Amino acid sequence: MSGVTYHKSIRDLQPPGITTAESQEFYNGWAPNFDKDNVEANYNGPRMTAERALELFEGKTDVRILDVAAGTGGVGEQLHKLGFRSMDALEPNENMLAVARGKNIYGRLIQDFLGTNRLDIEDGNYDAVVMSGGFLEGNVKCDCLEELIRVVKPGGFVVITMREHNIRTVPEYRNLEPRMAALQSEGRWEQVSRVIFPNYIEGEEGITYTYRVC
């Protein structure tokens, strides 16, 4: 299977209104070339996410982390480079997960969608959940936040990195920050930081949200 290559802006691969089923079909074909194409697009989200995790734990790496919307394991690779070894991956696409499996950096590989459904993970199982690039058209929705909180132990962290452009232009993600704030008002988590940074991908800005679970 040769796979597909994007040949244009990665942003355009997930057009407005793309369904989850359509998105998954595309990833099935893109998986073999996903890593190469993201290198060419100068995708720095995984590195920024991993470095944020290291900062939060003040250099301590003997913690349990769940990489959500793990794709081919980009965040996991960056975490591994920094010394983290206890990592699991959650990814719905079989072909993407197969690439991640081949990197031998994860313990458990969980093939499932993230949303309102309860994952096959115990409450408070992780010290942190990390996600880079999951919030884009046809992928993860805002209704997943409660499940992210559930699987992190009190005092642990949720780190979400995404294209800053999406919180302003994608209808679904215009609701993201209000939903985050509502969960804070409910006492579910508290914001640690909200950082906009340059060169997330293709020269565009990214944003990283960090929350501490209550």
> In this structure, are residues 114 and 149 in contact, taking their beta carbons and an 8 Å threshold?
no
Q: What are phi and psi of 136, to 5 degrees?
A: -150, 165
Per-residue pLDDT of the chain (214 residues; tens, 9 = 90+): 344 444 455 556 666 777 777 777 777 888 888 899 999 999 999 999 999 999 999 999 999 999 999 999 999 999 999 999 999 999 999 999 999 999 999 999 999 999 999 999 999 999 999 999 999 888 999 999 999 999 999 999 999 999 999 999 999 999 999 999 999 999 999 999 999 999 999 999 999 999 999 9
Q: How far apart are CA 78 and CA 88, in angstroms?
A: 14
Determine the pLDDT at residue 119.
98
Q: From 3.40.640.10, 3.40.50.150, 3.30.420.40, 3.90.1300.10, which CATH number describes the 59-213 domain?
A: 3.40.50.150
pLDDT for 89 = 98
Q: What is the pTM of this model?
A: 0.92
Report the pLDDT value the prediction gives residue 2, as an integer from 0 to 100: 43
Residue 7 pLDDT:
42
pLDDT confidence of residue 113 = 95
Pairing of strands 86-90, 109-110: parallel
Residue with tokens 């999406």: 166
Closest CA to 162 of 196, 118, 187, 186: 196
Task: Return the sign of the alpha-carbon dihedral for residues 3, 66, 214, 209.
Answer: negative
pLDDT of residue 11: 56
Q: Residue type for 58, please?
A: E
**Residue 206: beta bridge partners?**
163, 197
d(CA 64, CA 202): 31
Tell me the CB-side half-sphere exposure of residue 155, using CA atoms within 13 A.
2
